[in-house]
Amino acid sequence: MASPSISNPRSLEPTLTPPTPGLAHGRDVHTHEHYLNTTVGWKSWLFSLDHKRIGILYLVSISLMFFLGGMAASLVRFNLLEPQGLLGAEAYNRSFTAHGVIMVFFFLIPSIPAVQGNFFLPLMLGVKDVAFPKLNLMSWYLYMIGAIMTIIALLLGGIDTGWTFYTPYSSLYANGAIAWVVVGIFITGFSSILTGLNFIVTIHKMRAPGLTWFRLPLFVWSMYATSLIQVLGTPVVAITLLLVTVEKVFHVGIFDPKLGGDPVLFQHFFWFYSHPAVYIMILPGMAVVSEIIACFSRKTVFGYKFIAFSSLAIAVLGFLVWGHHLFVSSQSPYAGMVFSVISFLVAVPSAIKVFNWTATLYKGSIRLQTPMLYALGFIGLFTVGGLTGLPLASLATDVHLHDTYYVIAHFHYIMVGAAVMAYLGGLHYWWPKMTGRMYPEAWGRTAALVLFVGFNLTFGPQFLLGMWGMNRRYHSYAPEYQVLNEMSTLGASIQLIGYALPLFYLLWSLKYGQIAGPNPWGATGLEWQTPSPPPTTNFEKTPIVTTGPYVYSAIETERAEEDANAAADAARMRVVQEEQNRNVEPTELI
Amino acid sequence: MGSLWPHLPFILPQASTTAPGYDAVFTVLHVIALFFTIGIFACIAFFSFRYRRGNKVNRVLPDHEGIALELTWTIIPLIILVSLFVWSTSVYFSSVRIPAGAMEVNVVGKQWMWKLQQPNGRWEMNELHVPVGRAVKLTMISEDVIHSFGVPAFRIKQDVIPGRYVQMWFQATRVGRYRVFCSQYCGTKHAIMGGYITVMEPADYQRWLATGNVSQSYVASGEQLFRELGCTGCHGPNSNVRAPSLEGIWGKPVAVQVPDEGNVTKTLIADYRYMHDSIVLPEKEIAAGYKPIMPTYRGRVTEEEMIQLIDYIRSLGVTSGTSNGASNGYVPENAANLSPVSPAQNANVNMGRYPDRDRVFQTAPGNNKMANVNMGRYGDRDKTFEFNDSGQKFTNRTGLSGNRSDAVGAPLCAPQVDAPSV
């Protein structure tokens, strides 16, 4: 897909704002005061109440956790190269547990809300900060305490319960530093609750003048739905973990059958939070993608209200489907029937979103820059992930597929294929706003394509493994599954390159990237109407909103670009002719 | 016949009656998924190419807002999804009910092995032999953590839970040897917990059954345990400790007091769960009218032994005793509070012949709900009870004797090939 425009310098140029040629390496352009240079020193960061700095703190910490979780995933894939397992059972079980715990609780759940939400929600609302800046900083500290406790547990040898912590295995039979991890997740949960609370209050109370609900960017709508789940769902997992502790300390029978408890009750509690948690991961991804698709096809998002309300529908229905994780756990078939039908129904708002995004492309002026590649990848992979959820929502087929690699493949398509792609897309889209500099476009596109290929090669074969009966969490497997496992590991290695590339070129761009200017994408939205990086108070003066969020016009963009190109061609011709007239050799100017 | 698993398992064998239905749902779901996936990918690719920046095409948008389009792609998926749900659920429900007369196999899961026992007592580790074409019912429990008994070739799977009996059934349709996996993560060696089900021709199965390591049936082992653990000391007919007789309580309503809920009296069905809890958690539900004096057997009885004990108690279920032991001539001390029926009436009632399964028995005028509960409904239509003159001794045609003057010596029951299913 290496489009010819990579070599065409015009494609990198801003469309609606004049380029800033010749200043690519100059530090002198960062003359305005912004959130990065007003104060310096580590204290100014660790005690900052600025939502943008807290967003950056989150960015750094979740990136570290992402690479830790990625290392664990590499161990998992390495082990599965050979049917007998290369690491042995103990090490393998600890690896997949570390991978799951870190990726779910310490990367995916905070990812887009805590980084891009924190940074851009106040900017999109046209306000100075979130409603409760001190709570915001506290949420980061809580996250860090939880993360450090989990890292300590890893250093103590890790745990082997799986990220689901099913009782009675986790409470009575497993070894390892489980208490560290459980308390760590408990504390991190509060970070999630505080972020959600902050966002809900900010969205309700602090919008700029004229910014009515239906003028909000879809990012804000999705973030609102996400925050609702965080505030309503996370306490349940906290209570569950408390109950496990109460049972262990006071011997009250809750989950332990020996004390008269019910181990399946734990699964109900756990999934009551953890299924909505999947929507905490995917709704923000949908938020980012809505912004990117509109900007890079220069069109108003098709069906704005349908996308906005489908986010809320997903948030509400998402609370009522947890029982589809328990179809074979001895839950009553009639309960299973209810959970099955609601799980099928969640597919409707998801489908509405996919169709609307695709329709947005129609008659747009589409530019396939890095954020757009990620966004299009998101739509495709989310479609696959969503549709393969149907056999798991169906009672008949789930019996066979339950706890197999089919499930693994399905939720990785949602949580990596969709959520992580959206996160990376958003990171590239807003990188110039966050740092003031462009990332290198060619590298960006390369990494996006490498990731797409690597991802599908990793998880595509796992659908087949699952259909043919390979169970999850197996450190060794029957030899007939080996070929597909090798493909999967090869894909994982390719993905590794895809994740490492942005790490390098984004860091590189901090110093050497082209100066971005306030609005390199010609995007609408309040966050682009302030300098890059934004000043500490976000806006020089409070913006007044008079239009909806996506006032793009593909036709006008095309016309403007045509005119600009014509003018540039004319100018070039003039230069050439003048040079010919002077009988001078062509210079490097062209 | 050897392994049916070729080196590359391109298609799983359909080896049970459940498999074809499930596979049909699976195929249709994937055809639909493929259709939409290809559709979406094609639209994205086509639009991205046709409306790429700088391409000279018509970009004038239609004038309307597209409500019709929105409704179309809301309602059509809704219809598809609801019909898929209805179909898949009906397929599931058509196969979830356990057919009557299924061959009963007991399964105990423990870290990291399966123990499976045939109706005649023959047991195997990680192996199960079954005849082709016969429904097999698995009654399963775990000794420790949650396991899951899954057979991909049969498309069946069921979590096996500590402290609770779960049941699943299958009917193999193809002779062969099929893999069993543990599907629920259960600790270090989760991956190697598994085994094989060998499906044999009925004649071969009978030959196989007659050989090998036949152990006592569960009923016989349970009877032995019942004595060894000292159960007879209180629950035996000659005991002078006040404990309810267990004869005949299986599957019947029993009145219990629940201390956790403020000693309210409740009526439960004496099923596996109730029996299991009464052995390990005797203080949880106390038979109405008795003192909570039974010690817990938690930790002293393995889950496998538990099944044996319960199967033994179940085998006593063919009598018409009641949960408060009145049939043995014992009257609980606060019986008057529970039931206005006099012991004599009570005994009479219990001794009667109740051919009508659906009739709720009324003893005497003024009989309250409790008495009804104790009298229960007599569902064993096909069992004939005979009573001797004392009104307290009885036998029935399955050969079980309720007249046990010697708790230890007399043969309590013959090992039964087919434990009576209630």
Is A89 close to B7, i.e. CB distance below 8 A? no
Nearest CA in chain A to B162: A257
Return the higher-pLDDT residue of B310 and A442. Answer: A442
* Class of the CATH-defined domain B218-396: mainly alpha
pLDDT, position A22: 39
Which CATH code of 2.60.40.420, 3.30.2270.10, 3.40.50.720, 3.40.50.300 fits the domain covering B103-209? 2.60.40.420
pLDDT, position A588: 58
Is B144 close to A555, i.e. CB distance below 8 A? no
For residue range A376-432, what is the model confidence (pLDDT) as tens digits?
Answer: 999 999 999 999 999 999 999 999 999 999 999 999 999 999 999 999 999 999 999
The helix/strand/coil state of B381 is coil
With 60 as the cut, is the pLDDT of residue A46 above it? yes
Residue A491's contacts (CB-CB under 8 Å, 6 or more residues apart) are A453, A454, A455, A456, A457, A458, A459, A460, A461
pLDDT, position A9: 38
Contacts of B285 in chain A (CB under 8 A): none
With 90 as the cut, is the pLDDT of residue A580 above it? no
DSSP line for A286-325:
HHHHHHHHHHHTTSPPTTHHHHHHHHHHHHHHGGG-GGGG
pLDDT, position B349: 33
Biggest CA pair distance of chain A? 98
Return the bridge partners of B123, or none.
B117
Number of C-beta neighbours around residue A449 at 10 A: 16
Q: In terms of C-beta density within 10 A (0-12 exposed, 13-18 middle, 19 or more buried), how is residue B333 classed?
A: exposed
Map tokens 């990731």 to a residue: A451
Residue type, B307: I
Q: Which two tokens stand for residue A153?
A: 């547990």
Assess A574–B contact: CB distance below 8 Å, yes or no. Answer: no
Of A69-83, A209-223, B265-279, where does mean pLDDT reach its minimum? B265-279
With 80 as the cut, is the pLDDT of residue B102 above it? yes
Contact call for residues A188 and A146 (beta carbons, < 8 A): yes
Return the higher-pLDDT residue of B292 and A488. Answer: A488
Residue type, A420: V
Assess B184–A contact: CB distance below 8 Å, yes or no. Answer: yes
Q: Which two tokens stand for residue A442?
A: 């060619």
Span A291-308, average pLDDT? 93
Whether residue A213 has a cis bond before it, omega within 30° of 0: no
Is A364 close to B59, i.e. CB distance below 8 A? yes
pLDDT, position A189: 94
Per-residue confidence at B396, pLDDT binned at 50, 70, 90?
very low
Using the 8-state DSSP alphabet, how is residue B289 labeled?
T
For residue range A86-100, what is the model confidence (pLDDT) as tens digits?
Answer: 998 999 999 999 999
Per-residue confidence at A71, pLDDT binned at 50, 70, 90?
very high
Is B85 close to A478, i.e. CB distance below 8 A? no
Map tokens 């996370």 to a residue: A234
Tell me the Cα Rg of chain A. Answer: 25
The helix/strand/coil state of A105 is helix
Map tokens 């949420």 to a residue: A139
pLDDT, position B382: 33
Q: In terms of C-beta density within 10 A (0-12 exposed, 13-18 middle, 19 or more buried), how is residue A138 classed?
A: middle
- Separation CA A119–CA A387 (nearest Å): 33
With 60 as the cut, is the pLDDT of residue A352 above it? yes
- Separation CA B47–CA A366 (nearest Å): 8
φ, ψ at A13 (rounded to 5°): -80, 150
Per-residue confidence at B216, pLDDT binned at 50, 70, 90?
low
Taking CB atoms within 8 Å and a gap of at least 24, the contacts of A239-247 are A239/A269, A240/A266, A240/A269, A240/A270, A240/A273, A241/A182, A241/A183, A241/A185, A241/A186, A242/A186, A243/A269, A244/A165, A244/A167, A244/A170, A244/A171, A244/A182, A245/A182, A247/A171
Is B158 close to A330, i.e. CB distance below 8 A? yes
Span B34-57, average pLDDT? 93
Assess A558–B contact: CB distance below 8 Å, yes or no. Answer: yes
The helix/strand/coil state of B253 is strand
Chain A, 4-33: which have a CB under 8 Å from a chain B CB? 5, 11
Using the 8-state DSSP alphabet, how is residue B264 labeled?
E
Return the higher-pLDDT residue of A1 and A104. Answer: A104
H helices within A320-420, ranges in order?
333-361, 370-387, 390-393, 395-401, 405-412
For residue range B113-134, what is the model confidence (pLDDT) as tens digits?
Answer: 899 988 887 888 888 999 999 9
Is A467 close to B12, i.e. CB distance below 8 A? yes
What's CA A252's distance to the chain center, in Å?
A: 39
Span A558-570, average pLDDT? 90
The helix/strand/coil state of B360 is coil
Is B25 close to A396, i.e. CB distance below 8 A? yes
For residue range B330-343, what is the model confidence (pLDDT) as tens digits?
Answer: 333 444 444 333 33
The H or E element spanning position A222 is: helix A218-250
Bridge pairing between strands B135-142 and B176-182: unpaired
With 50 as the cut, is the pLDDT of residue B383 above it? no
**B307: closest CA of chain A, how far (Å):** 16
Chain B, 155-174: which have a CB under 8 Å from a chain A CB? 155-159, 161-164, 166
Extents of the domains making up chain A: 11-552, 553-590
Contacts of B80 in chain A (CB under 8 A): none
The helix/strand/coil state of A206 is coil
With 90 as the cut, is the pLDDT of residue B272 above it? no
Is A344 close to B85, i.e. CB distance below 8 A? yes
Span B275-279, average pLDDT? 84
DSSP line for B195-221:
EEEEEE-HHHHHHHHTSS-B---HHHH
pLDDT, position A103: 95
Of A196-200, B63-67, B101-105, where does mean pLDDT reach its minimum? B63-67
With 50 as the cut, is the pLDDT of residue A17 above it? no
Return the higher-pLDDT residue of B255 and A82. Answer: A82
Return the higher-pLDDT residue of B400 and A270. Answer: A270
Return the higher-pLDDT residue of B230 and B183. Answer: B183
Which of B74, B148, B281 shows the shortest C-beta gap to A260? Answer: B281
What's CA B166's distance to the chain center, in Å?
A: 4
Write the secondary structure of A428-485 as one string of H (helix), E (strand) and C (coil): HHHHHHHHCECCCHHHHHHHHHHHHHHHHHHHHHHHHHHHCCCECCCCCCCHHHHHHH
Domain A11-552 matching CATH 3.40.190.10: the answer reads no
Which of B44, B51, B66 shows the shortest C-beta gap to A363? Answer: B51
Q: How many residues does chain A have?
A: 590
pLDDT, position A176: 82
Is B8 close to A169, i.e. CB distance below 8 A? no
Span A424-445, average pLDDT? 96
Q: Nearest to residue A100, comparing CAs of A152, A12, A159? A: A159
With 70 as the cut, is the pLDDT of residue A499 above it? yes
Span A65-70, average pLDDT? 95
DSSP line for B84-152:
HHHHHHHHHHHHHSPPTTPEEEEEEEETTEEEEE-TTSBEEESEEEEETTSEEEEEEEESSS-EEEEEG
Which of A164, A168, A380 shows the shortest C-beta gap to B40? Answer: A380
With 80 as the cut, is the pLDDT of residue A462 above it? yes
**B363: closest CA of chain A, how far (Å):** 36
Whether residue A549 has a cis bond before it, omega within 30° of 0: no
Return the bridge partners of B135, or none.
B171
- Separation CA B156–CA A486 (nearest Å): 28
φ, ψ at B156 (rounded to 5°): -120, 155
Residue type, A369: Q
pLDDT, position A498: 95
Contact call for residues B196 and B126 (beta carbons, < 8 A): yes
Chain A, 350-389: which have a CB under 8 Å from a chain B CB? 351-352, 354-356, 358-359, 361-368, 376, 379-380, 383-384, 387-388
Of A212-221, A239-248, B138-147, B389-398, where does mean pLDDT reach its minimum? B389-398
Q: In terms of C-beta density within 10 A (0-12 exposed, 13-18 middle, 19 or more buried), how is residue A332 classed?
A: exposed
pLDDT, position B212: 65
For residue range A501-510, what is the model confidence (pLDDT) as tens digits?
Answer: 999 999 999 9
Tell me the Cα Rg of chain B. Answer: 29
With 70 as the cut, is the pLDDT of residue B370 above it? no
Nearest CA in chain A to B73: A352
With 60 as the cut, is the pLDDT of residue A569 above it? yes
Q: Which two tokens stand for residue A414?
A: 């949602």
For residue range A124-164, what is the model confidence (pLDDT) as tens digits?
Answer: 999 999 999 999 999 999 999 999 999 999 999 899 999 99
Assess A266–B contact: CB distance below 8 Å, yes or no. Answer: no
Chain A, 335-354: which have a CB under 8 Å from a chain B CB? 337, 340-341, 344-345, 347-348, 351-352, 354
Return the bridge partners of B129, or none.
B198
Write the secondary structure of A511-566 as one string of H (helix), E (strand) and C (coil): HHCCECCCCCCCCCCHHHHCCCCCCCCCCCCCCCCCCCCCCCCHHHHHHHHHHHHH
Contacts of B26 in chain A (CB under 8 A): 391, 396-397, 400, 467
With 90 as the cut, is the pLDDT of residue B230 above it? no
For residue range B200-214, what is the model confidence (pLDDT) as tens digits?
Answer: 999 999 888 887 666
Which candidate in B55, B58, B79, B146 is best for mutational testing of the A interface (most A CBs within 10 A)?
B146
pLDDT, position B215: 61
pLDDT, position A60: 96
